[in-house]
A and B are shown apart, each in its own frame.
Chain A
Amino acid sequence: MPAWSIISKWELKRSLTKFDRKTVSLLLLALVLIFVVTYAASMAGFGLNQKIYSVASSQPELNDIISNDPRFNVEYANEPWKLLGQDTKYDIIIINDRAYLSGTEKSAAAGKALENALINYRETILSSYKSIPDSHPVWVIVHDIDRPESFELLGDVRSMDTDTRQDTEAQQDTEAQQDTENDIEAGKDSDVSPEDVSEKDEHFVHPSERFEMDQQATITLFQTQTISTPSHFSPPIPFMAILYSFLFIFPIYIIAQLYSSSMMEERTNRKCQLLLAAPLRSIDIVLGKTAPYIITLMLLVIIISTFIQQPSTIREVTTVFSMALIMLPVILLFMALSFIAAIFSRSFKELTFSMVFLSVIVSGYLFFPAMFANIHAVSAISPMTLIVNLVEGNQIDVNTYLFSTVPFYLVSLSLYGLGTSIFNEENLFSQKNLISKSLDSIEKFLEFPGGSVFTLSLVSIPFIYMLQLMFIIILFNLPLPYSILIMIFLSAFVEELAKSIGILTIIKKKLEHINLKKATLLSILAGTGFFVGEKLISVITLTPIESSLFGFVMSMGPLLLLPLMLHVSATAIVGIGLYYLGHRYYLVLLLAATFVHSFYNIYLLRGILVG
């Protein structure tokens, strides 16, 4: 029996003893109540907007209609015209068949809401009539038809000939609309010939046939609507699917909370001292303590996806497991962050703060892109988008899976690596602050066989990559030139930080004797390491969004020599500066390097920014 599985058993037993009968029954009671109340709230329509507008009216029958909308607080007024022109509390005053607004912003919103309420009322009344051609005469039928993405029309020339980059840039705007889902198809028909068009043409030419197909298709709860009246016709935002994907995240929050508590407990009162004294490697302890939680979560995820899918065919069973496979890296990341937070925090309070902080950030990363699941290629950076796609009945291909999950895997693994390297008495039971603990873990990394500033830069790539993706999400909606400028600056900053942090550790901790030659050499190593890693990851994962403007900023196109020079020389600013000025000037030097780096990138992008 491997050492880690014994620890796992202990951990499982110990955490189960915490749940005595009283606690379990209370927790279950709370859970049942949550389900009941959530059900009731969903029946009530999840509204927090009750009674925010007030209406005075002399029409009793109208008042009944309006008060059906929870937003309105309707009062009967005997002589409403007396209220007109006065400074009253009413947002809308109804006299006979006219509704008067008070002129405030709130009143304008109330007027709009009233209009909607009346339209809804009319829909309800009309729905009660049996004669549909008279009550709901117009129906919209949406047919989803394929066409090649614009980048497919450009073909694979891009990768072969750097000069075509110009053409690609010209196509940026349209290409932003590309969808990664069709990647497989992209491979199939990248050279589009007229014959292909007519072939597809024939396939799609008969609307009537298409209509029959639509009717035959079984309509499930999640299938996006294809037939609707004009008032129910809406753009494809997957609200339902997002609600369901939220079901996955909830247990992860709770279990991560328990996990980080258990980790922290080892540190308070030095409970872990015994384990550390035993002939165990720290990796066994960490693995043993983590495995039960990850396994529990994976089981929960499978249960939830079974609940969502209710699989009856083999294909749906595979969907259930695909969902679990998509959630695995998300679970790993949450666990890794809880682990790091538990090791770095000095108290429970600090742990709570950092856990809330990290969960909010990661949830933003997960859910915000998922809102745009159907419309933007960049949205595939979040695994939640893939879940939404699966819930809606689409297929996910391997490329897309890799694109959105590789950063999660890499970041969680390296976080576990760093955390395990400082999983020792010195760091667990001391009150060192975050920076000195991080520098300790970097020192451990550099002492490791094969550890050098070169490999450190290489390992930092997934972090940088994920951070930059996070910036994309945050800057997603800012107007264009500004978002790109901020993006350039932030990216440059984190890249310079990653490259120089190893050199800082060496100088600050006096790990090696430093002279000018050595400082230059270290800078070259760190810069080259980063460059190599950057190229590697862009080859693996950036392809799906490469042609969008943001993707272009990240990979900076196919240029080779210049970026290498840039990475090395910007790092040299910090490296050599540290040698001359000492580690106290680190932040200043870092900012200087960031500016150099940003200006280079801005220069490269000048065409897009100005034009």
Chain B
Amino acid sequence: MDKLWPGRKVLAISKKESKGLLSEKTFLLTVFIQLFIATFSVFLIFGLTTFYDPGALQDFEMQSPQVGVFGNEESEFYDILVNSDIEVTYYEDFSEAYIDFYTREIDAIIEIPYEQADGEDLIDINVYMSRSELSATLVSINLKEPLEQFEEVVREVRTQRLPGYAPLDLDIESPKDGTTIINLEFIYVALLPLLLLTPAFISGGLVIDFITEEFEKKTVGLLLVSPVSLLDIISGKVLVAVFIVPIQSLAWMILLVLNGIEINNFLSILVLVSLIATILVTIGGSISLLVKERGIAQMFYSFILILMVMISYLYVNSPLNMITRLALDSIPLIESIYWLLLYTLIAIVLLLLLINSSRKGDIADIY
């Protein structure tokens, strides 16, 4: 009979906290933040694509940049430029081109070098433009490919002089349609892990508020004279904070799928997100038991969070990386199970530590 009680008490605390969450409309703010991150990323995607794939800009009626050239008319580089997206006008010398540059007839001036591909010297290509203008960016984007083509032509001739150099010969099949690599990597490597883990990040901070509020308002004393223990209180709060995470993440995943972004291994991702939420929430709980003061506890938590995010960069199958790999179906089943078990183990160890420290805590410790 008595065995049943702890669970029921924990649930009662959970109920109280979730009611508080729902009655405060600010909870909607967090949902809004996540929406904001999402829309924001769409702009970022757009910005990045336009920077790296100027072709995408053509839908927006960007005129091709006007460039003036002077110098060697016979150079291969001149031919490459004429055949590129850039509109080229030939001038006799720099000052003539500069007058048109000054009056905005052209946006950049390029000096075509006289040095030949089979020559001995470096080939300098001088580009004159006003760097602070948008047109300079457009010129730079459109100039990159012709420059690389020209470099290719010159290298064809010159690398033969390098002893022992043999170019790698691998013919890569060209993809069927013009998919841009930036988009795929941006969505799966940056956006998806960030969106799915934001609820977990927030929950870790939330549990600090739950617990320190009781300390600060001294209501924890009132709760403790009732037949609930500190352990019941903490467990109840941790439960709510963890539970709301997979719900939010699931909503995100459904939204993304509806937007045509394919996500593999739905279930494993949800399990992973819940595990990370458990880890972060128990860390938040332990910090608040240790510090008991909201400002310091939150500061401490932010430090730990930053630390953990930075550690994520260091190894394969860090939570952020693993979400990417799961969603792209790039991780073998066995490997994913192995790592999920590892994170489960970490979560359990942290939970036990939290349980242990909240068992020890009594009223004397709180005041």
Residues of chain A touching chain B, judged by Cβ–Cβ distance below 8 Å, are: 15, 18-19, 23, 26-27, 30-31, 33-34, 37-38, 40-41, 44, 46-54, 62, 65, 73, 89, 94, 97-101, 103, 105-109, 111-115, 118, 121-122, 125-126, 129, 131-135, 137-148, 150, 153, 174, 176-177, 179, 181-182, 197, 200-201, 204-205, 207, 211, 224, 229-231, 233-237, 253-254, 257-258, 260-262, 264-265, 268-269, 345-354, 356-357, 360-361, 364, 368, 371, 374-376, 474, 476-477, 479-480
CA distance A433 to B140 in the complex (A): 53
Given contacts A141-B126, A347-B24, A350-B26, contact A31 B303 (CB under 8 A): yes
Please determine whether A50 and B174 come into contact, CB atoms closer than 8 angstroms: no
A253 to B318, CA, bound (A): 26
Distance (Å) between the CB of A43 and the closest chain B CB? 9
Contact among A97, A121, A139, A264 for B171, CB-based, below 8 A: A97
Nearest CB of B to A44, in Å: 6
- Indicate if the CB atoms of A143 and B314 lie closer than 8 Å: no
Known: A27-B300, A44-B313, A368-B40. A348 touches B127 (CB 8 A): no
B295 and A262 within 8 A (CB): yes
- Jot down 10 A-B pairs with beta carbons below 8 A, ordered by A: A48-B193, A48-B324, A54-B330, A98-B173, A105-B184, A131-B161, A207-B128, A268-B217, A352-B202, A353-B30
Point out the residues of chain A lying under 8 angstroms from B293, CB to CB. 18, 261
The closest CB in chain A to the CB of B295 belongs to A261
Knowing A144-B131, A235-B137, A356-B202 touch, does A347 contact B20 (C-beta < 8 A)?
yes
Shortest beta-carbon distance, A377 to chain B, in Å?
A: 9
Known: A147-B102, A479-B60. A253 touches B95 (CB 8 A): no
Pair count A-B, CB < 8 A: 336
Contact of A65 among B129, B135, B168, B175 (CB under 8 A): B168
Task: Say which residue of A30, A137, A201, A348 sits within 8 Å of B213 (CB atoms).
Answer: A348
User: Which chain A positions have C-beta within 8 A of B79?
Assistant: none
User: Which chain A residues border B20 with CB–CB below 8 Å?
Assistant: 347, 349
User: Which residue of chain A has the shortest Cβ distance to B300 in the bound complex?
Assistant: A27
Binary interface encoding of chain B residues 112-137 relative to chain A, with 1 for a CB under 8 A from any of its CBs, else 0: 00000100111111111111111111
Measured in the bound complex, the distance between the Cα atoms of B131 and A181 in whole Å is: 12
Q: A52-B325, A176-B134, A237-B51 are in contact. Are A207 and B172 (CB under 8 A)?
A: no
Residues A140 and B209 in contact, CB atoms below 8 Å apart: no
Q: B168 to A356, Cβ gap below 8 A?
A: no
- Determine whether B8 belongs to the interface, using a CB cutoff of 8 Å to chain A: no
Secondary structure of the B side of the interface? helix
Q: Is the CB of B295 within 8 A of A258?
A: yes
The answer to whether A264 and B294 touch (CB under 8 A), given A108-B179, A353-B30, is: yes
By the criterion CB–CB under 8 Å, are B33 and A360 in contact? yes
Q: Given A41, A135, A146, A230, which contacts B162 in the complex, CB threshold below 8 Å?
A: A135
With a cutoff of 8 Å between Cβ atoms, the chain B residues found around residue A98 in the complex are 170-171, 173
**Is B291 interfacial (CB-CB < 8 Å)?**
yes
CB distance from A418 to the nearest CB of B (A): 19
Quick check: is B185 within 8 A (CB to CB) of the other chain? yes
Q: Given A44-B313, A105-B184, A231-B148, are A353 and B94 neighbors across the interface (CB < 8 Å)? A: no
Distance to closest chain B CB from A311 (angstroms)? 24
Evaluate contact between B209 and A121: CB separation under 8 angstroms.
no
B24 and A350 contacting across the interface, CB-CB below 8 Å: yes
> Is the Cβ of A235 less than 8 Å from the Cβ of B210?
no
Instruction: Given contact pairs A140-B125, A142-B129, enumerate 18 new A-B contacts (beta carbons under 8 Å).
Output: A23-B300, A30-B300, A48-B320, A52-B328, A54-B330, A112-B175, A126-B162, A131-B161, A138-B122, A141-B126, A141-B127, A142-B127, A201-B99, A257-B298, A265-B216, A356-B30, A356-B33, A374-B132
Q: Which of A37, A137, A254 contacts B299 (CB 8 A)?
A: A254
A109-B181, A257-B298 as given contacts; A115 in contact with B130, CB under 8 Å: no
A47 engages B313 (CB within 8 Å)? yes
Q: How far is the CA of A374 from the CA of B137 in the complex (A)?
A: 9
Please give, as numbers and ranges, the residues of chain B lying within 8 Å of A73 by CB-CB distance: 330
Instruction: Please tell me which one of the listed residues B111, B167, B209, B304 contacts residue A349 in the complex, with CB atoms under 8 A apart.
Output: B209
Q: Once bound together, how far apart are the Cα atoms of A62 and B170, in whole Å?
A: 9
Q: Is the CB of A357 within 8 A of B30?
A: yes
Q: Is the CB of B43 within 8 A of A476?
A: yes
Given contacts A254-B299, A368-B40, contact A349 B21 (CB under 8 A): yes
Give Cα distance in the complex from A142 to B127, angstroms. 5
Min C-beta distance of A200 to chain B, whole Å:
7
Q: In the complex, which residues of chain B have a beta carbon less than 8 angstroms from the beta carbon of A368? A: 40, 43
- Give the chain A neighbours of B169 by CB distance below 8 A: 97
What 9 A-B pairs come out closest when comparing CB atoms?
A: A261-B295, A108-B175, A230-B147, A348-B209, A41-B313, A30-B303, A112-B181, A353-B26, A177-B134
A118 neighbours in B (Cβ, 8 Å): 168, 170
Q: Tell which of A111, A236, A260 touches B174, judged by Cβ atoms closer than 8 Å.
A: A111
Cα of A350 to Cα of B307 in the assembled complex, Å? 26
Interchain nearest-CB distance for A219 vs B (Å):
16
A131 to chain B, nearest CB (A): 7
Q: Are B30 and A143 in contact (CB under 8 A)?
A: no
B146-181 interface with A by 8 A CB criterion:
147-148, 150-151, 154-155, 158-159, 161-162, 165, 167-177, 179, 181
Tell me, yes or no, whether B32 is within 8 Å of chain A by CB.
yes
Partner of B98, one of A18, A19, A204: A204
